[in-house]
A and B are shown apart, each in its own frame.
Chain A
Amino acid sequence: MTERKQDVARRADKAPMATAWDYAPAPEARDIVRIQERYGLFIGGKFVEPLSGERYTTIDPAREEPLSEVAQANKADVNRAVKAARGAFEGAWSKLRPSERAKYLFRIARILQERSREFAVLESLNGGKPIRESRDVDVPLAAAHFFYYAGWADKLEYAFPNRRPRPIGVAGQIIPWNFPLLMLAWKIAPALAAGNTVVLKPAETTPLTALLFCDVIRQAELPPGVVNIVTGDGRTGAEIVAHPGVDKIAFTGSTEVGKAIQRTLAGTGKRLTLELGGKAANIIFDDAPLDQAVEGIINGIYFNQGHVCCAGSRLFVQESIYEATLAKLKRRMKTLRVGDPLDKNTDVGAINSKQQLEKITSLVQSGIDEGAELYQPPCTLPERGYWFVPTVFTNVAQSYRIAQEEIFGPVLSVLTFRTPDEAIEKANNTPYGLSAGVWTEKGSRILAMAQRLRAGVVWANTYNRFDPASPFGGYKESGFGREGGRHGLEAYVALDDT
């Protein structure tokens, strides 16, 4: 027996424990996508020089390197785009057989799938999100949205029984920088399925996948003018909102801009849907499957660097499992791999812009100043580019700015509760109401919580999960109108009584 013990000891000596297992870099090849040096505006089925004559540089936020020069559209450019859209609407598109519209949408969906790697690489390059996410989430979901709404195109009367749905006209769509291609799909697919034409403005910092999408439109031989893409900053967006030829505005972005748009549109008769900010509660009950709940917390707040309007940025943990949950959470945070967005093993990528990084930094400082306790895992950040270490705040009071304001970054605030009533009360105590998460083994409690949470989406034992068939949208200052599912069609049809 002693002999055996020595034996074991000897073996342990011979095979010393490894001190590190660093994964070798596994970058996705970036040469699959060809980025042009400069882009015009996509109007009437072709790229045209901007009348404004202005361009700006769009960059790779992970390296602070320029990628391309894109046009800054002005009033005249927007006018041209709206005219093209109007022409296409009055011309062929609105009179096309619905099953023909469906064919175009199916075609776009298939081309997106075929070119998915190209789109994934470009999305990560221009936006800073990890390739794992653009490859497995953004691009497949974007294609899925086109597939889903292609199916509705010739079945609209079944979506609205006893009503006669007809298209509205020209939709002006303004999308954010956090999911550039996916938000484009959310906007364009239902609009086209219902027979509308579109003028879409991608976000200032992330125009490239939308511009690559123009190539898909050409490949799909969509009639000219049905989809027009104009790039530029907030001024371009304001021109679209103010243009009298636009029948409907769909906006996803900040609550502040959303309010300004609503003020501009008051009294014009234009339809409006807004998908704005959020400060979602992710609620963990003491009977939750803890390891999976911790994954849900991580996915809720560090997915896409926290640049998610429905991010689970307020974590509510039942007090009886607070210590255990926090220990597991911190331990898990240490395994997050922050770095090159194009590396297939990266979990958390770059912050989208300098401006956003400054906003996150200042809000985190306010958290420290107000007395919250900060935890960040040990982590080396690349020297160039915009980065922020995944952060968690404990000892947070409901009144702190970090518990009230949307940070839109990888920053989690942890609060506790004792009873379901208290959880509801605290979760609902926010001007926002976009989403929430509930973690419990008890089915009846899930239903009871979902009923009382003032949030457009309530996830149960999962988080940040999207499906084209499921409607998405907010309560209160998170906006109104729904995107996705049958509900998503409503924003793009006028309903006559039969």
Chain B
Amino acid sequence: MATAPALPGGFELPLEPRLPRLGSVDAVALEERADVLSKRSIKRESKVFALDLAIRMMDLTTLEGADTPGKVAALSSKGIRPDPTDPGIPSVAAICVYPNLVPYALERTRGTDVKVASVATAFPSGQSPLEVKLEETRWVVEAGAHEVDMVIDRGAFLSGRYAQVYDEIVRVKEICAGRAHLKVIIETGELGTYDNVRRASLLAIAGGADFIKTSTGKAATNATLPVALCMLEVIRDVHEETGRVVGMKVAGGIRQSKQAVQFLVQVHETLGLAWLTPDRYRIGASTLLNDVLMQIRKERTGRYQNPDYFTID
């Protein structure tokens, strides 16, 4: 069994008896705070700053059964140069795909700064034997994926088998360590309470996550503002107690620039500027990119342009 990375005081193993004392979250107050932050009015140059950042932080994603090499190639090109008419627009952070499509994404992005992220561990449900999950992870890392987005076993988590969830993350981390960044998806939409979100986040961090991630995008509820705030507060607690830096990724349902800006305001006012970088914050999205491009052009020209002027992928 692997040894756990540095943990804040009070979070030491064994986990089961400790977990209920890992701090709690008040739902009403959390939602109220998230609501206040969502009403920040971000205009003009501060909006352009946020939109540019949103592109640089974006994990441009396609996770469909119908994905093909062609689709991934197109998406990769779009990620490298989101707006061919405007050289000032940066590339996205990464292309996020299913394992089978990793080689195609790698081929298309070679020589650029755009990373390739792959989901793994029986995404999205995580309901497969551990060996299968580990083998899948091994496969994507060896294929060359720079980043691995794993899912936790919610079945185990919700039945109270926290140690099992933890062990799994540790085993996946062992495979990724030094080779790929590990993002741990806790699938907040299936956890039911903010207390659970907090617990699962801590568990993921304890297991060695480089990033914690809200959702698969496949559940009924995906990244919401209060859930993201709750996770940012966990990251902040861990950082303050141990100095350890953990990144955050929101994913699922973020389609409009306005939402992206709201998430970034949260980061700004919770963790500060230090987290406003693609190394520490990511936004998983597919259709968001064009809305951001449209908003940027609107800020520059003063008017909205027909969507046909933006390539769909």
Contacts and interface: CB of A to CB of B under 8 A. Distances in A.
A26 B24 contact: no
Given A344-B41, A345-B40, A461 B33 contact: no
Interface string A459-489: 0011000000000000000000000000000
A377 to B, nearest CB: 13
B26 interface: yes
A344 B44 CA distance: 14
Interface string B253-278: 00000000000000011000110111
B50 A15 contact: no
B107 interface: no
Contacts of B33: 292, 295
A423 B239 CA distance: 31
A233 to B, nearest CB: 36
A419 interface: no
Given A1-B178, A12-B279, A17-B273, A26 B29 contact: no
Contacts of A290: 23
Contacts of B178: 1
Nearest to B274: A17
Given A335-B269, A344-B39, A292 B29 contact: yes
B46 A21 contact: yes
B179 A1 contact: yes
Given A295-B33, A345-B41, A462 B46 contact: no
A22 interface: yes
Which of the four size classes fits the interface of chain B?
Answer: 35 or more
A344 B39 CA distance: 8
B108 interface: no
A18 B49 contact: yes
B23 A289 contact: yes
Given A22-B46, A287-B24, A296 B29 contact: yes
Interface in B16-36: 23-26, 28-30, 32-33, 36
A14 B113 contact: yes
Interface in A1-50: 1, 4, 7-8, 10-12, 14-15, 17-26
B131 interface: no
B72 to A, nearest CB: 21
Contact of B49 (A14, A21, A292, A461): A21
A17 B276 contact: yes
Contacts of B269: 335
Contact of B276 (A10, A11, A18): A18
A295 B32 contact: yes
A198 B221 CA distance: 51
A12 B56 CA distance: 11
Contacts of A291: 25, 30, 233
Interface residues of A, number: 37
Nearest to A343: B41
B158 interface: no
Contact of A461 (B26, B40, B240): B26
A132 interface: yes
A14 B24 CA distance: 39
A17 B240 CA distance: 20
A4 B45 CA distance: 34
B53 A18 contact: yes
A358 interface: no
B42 interface: yes
A327 interface: yes
Contacts of B278: 11, 15
Contact of B25 (A22, A136, A289): A289
A114 interface: no
Contacts of B268: 21
A232 to B, nearest CB: 37
B240 A327 contact: yes
Contacts of A345: 40-41
A17 B25 contact: no
B47 A24 contact: yes
B274 A23 contact: no
Contacts of B53: 18
A152 to B, nearest CB: 27
Contact of A15 (B30, B45, B240, B277): B277
B213 interface: no
A16 to B, nearest CB: 9
17 contacts: A8-B279, A15-B56, A15-B277, A19-B273, A21-B273, A22-B46, A25-B43, A26-B41, A136-B39, A288-B24, A289-B25, A293-B29, A295-B29, A295-B33, A327-B240, A345-B41, A462-B29
